[in-house]
């Protein structure tokens, strides 16, 4: 599995035939099966997994022209954070994924790539769920990605909506893994309106935890900002964001909003995104627009829900 990318017992010709037969009869490779897979025009693959208990999750594999292969993996079935613009948040929460279920998403992509003489180069915890609500399992998977799949720490990113105590705890882990904070608003009232977590950990507490992370790790922190036309994409919003982040070693990832059925906001145009970047840049805050991938199959940031809801019945039961 790990060295050759083989995921079929019959293809393991260096094992005795009788052993292969016994393995087929009594064991499986992994805990999950692939229910469906969709392919985007840009090469992105979105995979729907069925867990042993019938729960359904999604993960995404994104290819890039520079040979990078990035897996976006899930840490929970659904999400309890309730962010209004996120499809996963709109579907609610069912359960945490086990460490094995999280790791398998990346390991299976890695094996398939290896069989084609390619390699999984990057992993981002930006799929379904809030990684820091399943902290121990996510940290365990992160260490396995490095030790078992050979992915460098700096090629792994964990994204969180901003659970301040866990940000501090992560700062003390000593891992050279990248941290991304889903921010999206620089004002407490507006952020609380779209991200309920802000009512528990407001911007002052969150930014204090971020400063602690930078001091402890020496690493730059990333802030994710979904650009919503007419809501948080104007010059005033950019100035407010720059003031909030002033003096912090950071970078802003701007993501024109990806559409979901449960939120009627529209994505910002690229010219307006460039103006937003210019305002931040004049105030010393570096920012770039993230390339949107897999939008035609609902595989972009915040879109992992639609396929699940088509397969899940009332109350989350498979149909």
Backbone angles phi, psi at 229, to 5 degrees: -55, 130
Q: What average pLDDT does range 81-110 have in this prediction?
A: 91
Residues 6 or more apart whose Cβ sits within 8 Å of residue 173: 139
Distances (CA, A) of 267 to 12, 152, 153, 226, 257: 48, 33, 32, 8, 4
pLDDT tens-place string over residues 8-52 = 899 899 999 999 999 999 988 888 989 999 988 888 999 999 999
State CA 104 to chain mean position distance.
15
State CA 206 to chain mean position distance.
20
Nearest CA-CA partner of 233 in 200, 265, 192, 194? 265
- C-alpha–C-alpha distance, residues 233 and 256, integer Å: 9
Task: Please give the CATH architecture assigned to the domain spanning 32-211+293-311.
Answer: Alpha-Beta Barrel (3.20)
Residues 6 or more apart whose Cβ sits within 8 Å of residue 28: none
Q: So which residues are the catalytic ones?
A: 58, 301
Q: What is the pTM of this model?
A: 0.87
- In the predicted model, is pLDDT for residue 311 greater than 80? no
pLDDT tens-place string over residues 110-162 = 999 998 999 999 999 999 999 999 999 999 999 999 999 999 999 999 999 99
């Amino acid at each position: 599995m790990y060295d050759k990318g083989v995921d079929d017992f019959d293809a393991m010709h260096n094992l005795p035939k009788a052993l292969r037969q016994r393995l087929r009869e009594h064991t499986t490779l992994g805990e999950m099966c692939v229910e469906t897979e969709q392919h985007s025009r840009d090469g992105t693959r979105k995979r729907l997994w069925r867990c042993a208990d019938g729960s359904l999750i999604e993960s995404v594999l994104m290819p890039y022209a520079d040979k990078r292969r990035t897996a976006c993996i899930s840490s929970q079935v659904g999400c309890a954070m309730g962010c209004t613009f996120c499809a996963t948040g709109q579907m609610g929460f069912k359960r945490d994924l086990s460490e094995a279920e999280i790791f398998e998403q990346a390991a299976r992509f890695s094996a398939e790539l290896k069989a084609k003489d390619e390699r999984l180069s990057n992993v981002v915890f930006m799929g379904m769920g809030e990684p820091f609500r399943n902290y121990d399992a996510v940290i365990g998977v992160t260490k396995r990605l490095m030790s078992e799949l050979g992915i460098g720490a700096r090629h792994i990113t964990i994204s969180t909506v901003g659970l301040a105590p866990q940000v501090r705890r992560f700062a003390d882990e000593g891992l050279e893994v990248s941290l991304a904070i889903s921010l999206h608003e620089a004002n407490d009232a507006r952020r609380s309106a779209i991200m309920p977590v802000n009512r528990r950990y407001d911007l002052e507490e969150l930014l204090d935890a971020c400063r602690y992370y930078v001091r402890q790790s020496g690493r730059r922190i990333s802030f994710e900002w979904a650009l919503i036309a007419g809501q948080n994409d104007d010059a005033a919003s950019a100035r407010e964001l720059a003031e909030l982040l002033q003096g912090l070693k950071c970078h802003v990832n701007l993501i024109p909003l990806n559409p979901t059925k449960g939120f009627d906001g529209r994505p910002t145009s690229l010219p307006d995104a460039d103006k937003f970047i210019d305002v931040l840049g004049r105030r010393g805050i570096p920012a770039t627009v993230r390339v949107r991938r897999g939008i035609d199959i609902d595989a972009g940031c915040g879109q992992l829900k639609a396929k699940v809801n088509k397969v899940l019945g009332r109350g989350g039961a498979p149909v």
